[in-house]
Amino acid sequence: MDVIVIDTPQLGDRSYLVHDGDVALLVDAQRDIDRVEAAAEKAGVQVTHVAETHIHNDYLTGGYLYAQKHGAQYLVNAADKVAFERTPISDGQVVRVGQLSVRAVATPGHTHHHLSYVVEHGDEQAVFSGGSVLYGSVGRTDLLGQEHTVGLTHDQYASARRLAREAEEEASLYPTHGFGSFCSSGPATGVGESTLGEQMRSNHVYTDPDEEHFVTELIENLSAYPNYYAHMGPINAEGPTDPDLAVPEALDAEELRARLADGEWVVDLRHRVAYSAEHLKGTISFEYGDGSSFTAYLGWLFPYDRKLTLVGSREDVENAIRDLSRIGIDSPDAALGEDPKALAPGAPVSSYPRVGWDGVRDRPAGQTVLDVRQASEYEDSHIKDAVNIPLHELIVRMDEVPDGRLWVHCGSGYRSGVASSLLQRAGKDPVHVDAMFDDAADAGLPLTG
């Protein structure tokens, strides 16, 4: 048995292609299935079965597309209500995939109908746990609504124990979430691989002998998750369409100027340093980089009923289009180039200061420090007298932002770069604090919390 990992770091998830050398099972595919097709071709295997561990909330599945395109059987829990033809599978059912034996195990918790898959080939065993047991934690249990959270958290505790009974300790463990995904209930451990036995000895779902304590602690530590999650489940239940990943014809200068003047969502993909120095007035800074923060935070803030325009290099625009397609933001427009003045001659350009912690320490008395981290981060530790408005709440709480100059920081500089651009767009006076929060105390900033 060989397991090919198809990593999507932009969303903190993994898909898997497990095969016997000839025939393969695809688990939790992302919407851009060309990556899977390339991996299968390289391995010289035919994917005959595609499986979902659950109806996903953090991305659009490619499982339906792959099964339709390649004539594979599409394994989806029989209890899930979906609008498409599938091969229903239930707890305890075994499916043969070439020489592989694939057994479904009900592991509710992340969702009500969550399944894990125990795959065996001779003496080898692997567990594909989806959003059940992760590396160091478990999938979050609050995505289906507050009224379900306590019950699902108890389910998650029981499911981990069920999985431990259904598989060997030596079984390799392959979760879908937990590599930065907001679907995880806790921080990633940083490990790239593990076994079920290793998790039984280290993961708090196993090491906490008090179920009530586990449930209370997990729920108390759940943080906010992106707004776009609300769109993913319904689309996945309908069956996502094939994404268009082509870079569109570039907008001309006149059209770009018009969109800026109308206050449309025009997103600048350049590095936050370049953006702060000079940008088209009215754009919003979402530095692309490797896309790891870009997708989550743009998806979190972007109103899905609006038109999106991406501004940046062809490479960044192309990559951004692929990343956004995974969360259902399809066919954005684009203006290609990295020189603001050349992109829209005559359109106003702007800038704002960018500083480190020394600048915050030496700021004039009375000026506001605005902390745009999540409330849980702020409660753990924050600069004395800083005002906290999390980035994901900033647009709707703009009227709460104090007047005057704002020294805007987060944990690393990424979120504060987005926030600074939104604040300036709203007529505020930001200074972008581009620094790691962990270095604030060493710079002489008084912390509390």
May I ask the CATH architecture of the domain 354-448?
Answer: 3-Layer(aba) Sandwich (3.40)
User: At 183, is the secondary structure helix, strand, or coil?
Assistant: coil
Say if CB 49 and CB 73 are below 8 A apart: yes
The domain segmentation of the chain, as residue ranges, is 2-238, 253-350, 354-448
Per-residue pLDDT at 139: 96
pLDDT for 195: 97
Beta-sheet pairing, 115-121 with 124-130: antiparallel
DSSP string covering 357-372: HHHHHTSPTTPEEEE-
Helix (H, G, I), strand (E, B) or coil at 86: coil
Q: Work out the angle between the directed axes of helices 294-301 and 314-325 (0-180°, nearest 10).
A: 60
pLDDT at residue 407, rounded to an integer: 98
In this structure, are residues 407 and 360 in contact, taking their beta carbons and an 8 Å threshold?
A: yes
The token pair that represents 176 in the structure block: 């879908």
Half-sphere exposure of 279 (CA within 13 A, CB side): 32
Question: CB neighbours (10 Å) of residue 82?
Answer: 17
Tell me the average confidence (pLDDT) per consecutive run of 10 residues in the chain, 449 residues long.
96 96 98 97 98 97 97 98 97 98 98 98 97 96 96 98 98 94 76 94 97 97 93 96 95 96 97 97 92 88 95 97 96 96 96 98 96 96 97 97 98 97 98 97 95
SS3 state of residue 400: helix
Provide the pLDDT for residue 189. 66
> Any idea what DSSP says for residue 399?
G
**Extended strands (E) in 295-332:** 308-312
- The angle that helices 146-166 and 211-220 make with each other, rounded to 10 degrees, is 130
Q: What radius of gyration do the chain's Cα atoms show?
A: 23
**Comparing C-alpha atoms, which of 221, 66, 67, 62 is closest to residue 141?**
221
Cα distances (angstroms) measured from residue 246 to each of 315, 317, 333: 12, 10, 11
2-238 CATH: 3.60.15.10
pLDDT the model gives residue 187: 63
Q: How much is the pLDDT for 291?
A: 57
Amino acid at residue number 234: P
60: three-class secondary structure by DSSP: coil
According to the model, what pLDDT value does residue 186 have?
72
| Eight-class DSSP state of 387 | E
Side-chain half-sphere CA neighbours of 52 within 13 A? 33
Torsion from C-alpha of 178, 181, 187, 190, nearest 10 degrees: 50
Report yes or no: 127 and 53 within 8 Å, Cβ to Cβ: no
Which CATH number does the domain 253-350 belong to among 3.30.1300.10, 1.10.40.30, 3.30.450.40, 3.40.250.10? Answer: 3.40.250.10
Work out the end-to-end distance of the chain between its first and last CA atoms, rounded to an integer number of angstroms.
50
In this structure, which amino acid lies at residue 360?
A: V
pLDDT at res. 377: 95
* Helix or strand holding residue 257 (H, E): helix 253-261
The reply to whether 2-238 and 253-350 are identical in fold is no
pLDDT of residue 241: 92
Q: For residues 43 and 4, is the Cβ–Cβ distance under 8 A?
A: yes
Neighbours of 349 (CB within 10 A): 13
Q: How far is CA 144 from CA 280, 305, 357, in A?
A: 40, 23, 40
In the chain, pLDDT over 90 holds for what percent of residues?
Answer: 95
* Pairing outcome for strands 279-280 and 349-350: antiparallel
User: Are the beta carbons of 349 and 326 closer than 8 angstroms?
Assistant: no
The C-alpha atoms of residue 195 and residue 198 are separated, in whole angstroms, by 5
* CA geometry: angle 176, 177, 182, nearest 5 deg: 155
Strand segments, DSSP code E, in 255-330 are 265-268, 279-280, 284-285, 308-312
